[in-house]
Structure 1
Amino acid sequence: MQSHLIVEKLEKFTGVNFKQWQQKIFFYLTTLSLARFLTETVPHVDEGDMDAHSVSGVQAWNHSDFLCRNYILNGMVDVLYNVYCKAKTVKELWESLDRKYKTEDVGAKKFMVAKFLDFKMIDLKTFMSQVQELQVILHDVHAEGMSLSKTFQVAAMIEKLPPSWVDFKNHLKYKRKEMTIEDLVVRLRIEEYNKISL
């Protein structure tokens, strides 16, 4: 009963954020001890070797494969369910989803890089909301498997400060001590508070 509740809490896959959905489904199947069926092929038993033990082994495998395949299918919106329900095994289903959506993730990576490079803070929007927006973009870049050094992230955030922050930006660029993103965010909050207080 508890495992049934977990699958109901998972958001249905709509065709976007595949990697995140796939990781959640994989975790769910792992908790049910079914994740191995994502990569296993149907066990082959020669007709001469058919005994009660091997037959029950194949039946158990087929049952687990059926459950696993349907947990995944039920984690999709109806339109995608109808497209993928024809897969005969969970391995076939999993590989089909992987081929379709991982290649689309390559495009997502390019989009994420462009979003990061194009991002510039402006004076018209609240400053900390822009800092948070940039942190989300950096998190998404990292989540896509692209790593940026901490030093690069700090330097990039400093470069993206709005035009009215030019003096503070120059001050930060020439600081000798290395900062983390967290240190920088604290410094920016203090500076924003000082600007508002004037």
Structure 2
Amino acid sequence: MESAQDSAIKVMNQDFVKLDKLDGTGTNFNRWKDKLMFFPIALKVAYILNLNLPKILAPVEGESEEVTEQRQKREEDEIICRGHILNTLSDSYYDMFQEIRNPREIWAAIEREYTTQKQGTDKFLIKKYFEFKLVDSFSLMDQIHNLQVIVSKLKDYGVEVSESFQVGAIIAKLPPLWNDYQKKLLHTSETLTLSSVLKHLRIEEGPEYFKN
């Protein structure tokens, strides 16, 4: 019969559980967390990361063979989960958490670290998004791409910017030389999606980097 360790090695060798290392910046935390769970779910050891899971009871004299086997499986599952979490951390993060033996404590400590990093960062990005200005002296589409990068970073921090808001913000941020086209977009009867407004602006800007 295949052991849990053998199953773990098989799962770890599959592409779908190969993760980008959690790098300590917090920007890839949500993506890392979602992908991390593929492994324990596949091995049916995800219960180990339940923060309310009772401690392993110490062995007592006369306990049944079944209880002993349950304890051994629990200890084995904890080792597997701990090793998997540590294996997905960058070197600097690994050094921070490798002394912690309990995988639930590692899990909780990483979430606390992320929460600490997150505080203020999302507000900074929101401020940066609102203050972002499109100017006439650079490619409009390149600038909008940079604006969308901020949206992507906000999403990583759990801040969703709706598509309709993004469309409105892009139109509102169009630089002075685009005033006439801005009015055209504001008064169009077409229901503008993010994809369609970007298509309109790309066509209007043309192949040149600068608007004449």
TM-score range relative to shorter protein: 0.7 to 0.9
- Shift in CA distance, 105/49, structure 1 to aligned 2, threshold 3 Å: farther
Amino acid at match of 1:119: F
- Tell me, in whole angstroms, the C-alpha distance in 2 between the residues paired with 1:70 and 1:49: 32
| Alignment check: 8 A CA contact 1:37 1:90 kept | yes
Structure 2 alignment gaps of length 5 or more = 1-8
Cα deviation, residue 133, structure 1: 1.9
Pairing 1:113–2:126 present: yes
Tell me whether 1:61 sits opposite 2:69 in the alignment: no
Is 1:98 paired with 2:107?
A: no
Given the two structures, how large is their TM-score scaled by the length of structure 1?
0.85
Counterpart residue type for residue 70 of structure 2: G
Please state whether the residue corresponding to 1:147 is helix, strand or coil: coil
Q: Is the 8 A contact 2:48 2:104 kept in 1?
A: yes
Q: Distance in 2 between matches of 1:24 and 1:89?
A: 21
Aligned to 2:173: 160
- CA–CA distance in structure 1, aligned partners of residues 128 and 14 of structure 2: 34
The structure 1 residue matched to 2:96, chosen from 64, 78, 83, is: 83
1:41 aligns with 2:54: yes
Q: CA RMSD in A?
A: 2.7
Distance 1:159 1:165 in 2: 10
Q: Which runs of 5+ in 1 are unaligned?
A: none
Give 1:90's aligned amino acid: P
Which structure shows the higher helix fraction?
1
Give, in whole Å, the separation in 1 of the partners of 2:181 and 2:203: 11
User: Residue 154 of structure 1: SS of its match in structure 2?
Assistant: helix
Q: Residues 72 and 6 of structure 1: is their aligned pair in 2 closer, same or farther, counting only changes over 3 Å?
A: farther
SS of structure 2 residue aligned to 1:11: coil
- Percent identity between the aligned chains? 29
Question: Structure 1 residue 31 and structure 2 residue 39: aligned?
Answer: no
TM-score normalised over the length of structure 2 = 0.80
Deviates most, 183-192 or 105-114: 105-114
Shift, 1:176, TM fit? 3.4
Higher relative contact order (CA 8 A, sep 6+): 2
SS in 2 for 1:54: helix
Match of 1:5 in 2: 13
The alpha-carbon distance between structure 1 residues 116 and 197, as it changes in their structure 2 partners (threshold 3 A), is closer
Residues 119 and 92 (structure 1), Cα distance of their counterparts in 2 relative to 1, 3 Å cut: same
Is residue 41–residue 91 contact of structure 1 (8 Å, CA) maintained in 2?
A: no
Distance 2:101 2:185 in 1: 59
Larger displacement relative to structure 2 (114-123 or 142-151): 142-151
Report the count of equivalent residues: 198
